Amino acid sequence: MNERIVNVAIVGAGVIGAGWATHFLAQGFAVTATDPGDGAESRLRDWIDNSWPAAERLGLADGASPQNLTFTTDVGAAVRDADFIQESGPERLALKRALIADIESAARADAIIASSSSGLSVSEIQEGARHPERILLGHPFNPSHVIPLVEVGGGRLTSPENVARAMTFYAATGKKPIRIDKEVKGHIANRLQVALWQEAISLVQRGVASVEAIDTAIAYGPGLRWALLGPFLNLHASGGRGGITHVLQHLGPAQREWASDLGSYPENDAYIESIAQGVDAELTPYDFPEMLRQRDKLLIQLLEAKRNLDQIP
């Protein structure tokens, strides 16, 4: 555990905030969470209890316990003694700025404020802040108590030192942080996902394949490799002795042709019904909650396996 960070505050206890709370509790931190919603505390504690077996499987730090959680509806009280503050409020800019103002009214000036925002830029969020140099991005992925990735980056007024501090802290808690060198809407992983979703939706609309076929194509094809190595390393592995240079030179003309035929994201919501019907049809023989439980079990097994391989990044 990072010796300079002992107390963590979670501002916003929805699915993302609850995942963060579970993760930090599992890493032995004292966590104070805050959320104004009716029944927020009971929902959060139930979520943590249900997620704790997964946290145990991933490994608990000394002293880790759900009992180290404190809950309050007072934002100021939640952040007053915090060394690190994870903001996970709704994805609305005005609300984010209001939350930051409430946090800064009580937090220490040196406490880092990391936003879990999935698309807003830090420069937008930190506008008008008292200490914008300590406001940065700490974007996780669901389920955030299991998936290691955290995207970290600063805005125009964030200090490089605080970005480095956040990178070090997340890594020390078992996360896999990546640094975003230049702000872009949607950050990195979400943009990559949107590129795939865009073409997947287009293929369904064009009658090329069903929703189920496209899910199968990814889950039993490139998705298996992507879980082990990223797109560039997988391309490199496909090139034999020539590596990625050979692949790009060899497939470049064909890939340019395919790229010119890729679909655009739908201009309105008319497509949603057909996609939803396809998902319902795909799920007909399955119990979806049980599917998600089995997904998380497999995720943990995969992470355990990757930890035991010193040549897998």
Q: Please provide the CATH number assigned to the domain covering 189-307.
A: 1.10.1040.10
Domain residue extents for the chain: 7-179, 189-307
Residue 262 confidence (pLDDT): 95
Fold: same for 7-179 and 189-307: no
Residue 92 confidence (pLDDT): 95
By CB atoms closer than 10 A (0-12, 13-18, 19+), residue 8 is: buried
DSSP assignment string, 41-78: HHHHHHHHHHHHHHHHHH-PPTT--GGGEEEES-HHHH
- Give residue-wise pLDDT tens across range 113-153: 999 999 999 999 999 999 999 999 999 999 999 999 999 99
CATH class of 7-179: alpha beta
The pTM of this model reads 0.94
Give the DSSP H/E element, type plus range, for residue 122.
helix 122-125
What gap in Å lies between CA 54 and CA 299, rounded to an integer?
Answer: 10
Residue 4 confidence (pLDDT): 77
Mean pLDDT for each 10-residue chunk of the chain (313 residues)?
Answer: 78 97 97 97 97 96 97 97 97 96 96 97 96 98 95 98 97 97 96 97 97 98 95 94 93 92 94 97 96 94 93 91
Residue 263 confidence (pLDDT): 95
Q: Which two tokens stand for residue 227?
A: 């879980």
Residues in the chain: 313
Residue 1 confidence (pLDDT): 42
- Give residue-wise pLDDT tens across range 155-197: 999 999 999 999 999 999 999 999 999 999 999 999 999 999 9
Using DSSP bridges, classify how beta strands 176-179 and 69-72 pair: parallel, antiparallel or unpaired.
Answer: unpaired
